[in-house]
């Protein structure tokens, strides 16, 4: 009985298991699974919104440059 208790204590003191996949890879894989799952439409809308944000920022910078040139 004491041997079983000793084995259980030693097993509990061992090193924790290393994750099979790093956090960045797991996040990327989870995002891809979400796109295919029940949240797929929302994920696609979010990606589209991010693309629109970049496009609008680029156009705004272009217009600021144009206005700046016109004011000189």
Give residue 61's pLDDT band: very low, low, confident or very high (50, 70, 90): very high
**With 90 as the cut, is the pLDDT of residue 42 above it?**
no
Q: 38-61 burial string, b = 16+ CB within 10 Å, else e?
A: eeeeebeeeeeeeeeeeeeeeeee
Query: What average pLDDT score do residues 37-60 get?
Result: 88
**With 60 as the cut, is the pLDDT of residue 12 above it?**
no
pLDDT of residue 46: 87
CA 65 to chain centre: 34
Mean pLDDT of the chain: 81
pLDDT of residue 56: 94
């Amino acid at each position: 009985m004491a041997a079983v208790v000793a084995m259980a204590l030693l097993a509990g003191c061992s090193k924790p298991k290393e994750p099979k996949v790093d956090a960045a890879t797991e996040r990327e894989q989870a995002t891809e699974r979400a796109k295919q799952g029940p949240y797929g439409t929302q994920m696609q809308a979010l990606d589209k919104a991010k693309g629109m944000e970049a496009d609008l920022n680029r156009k705004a910078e272009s217009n600021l440059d144009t206005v700046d040139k016109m004011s000189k």
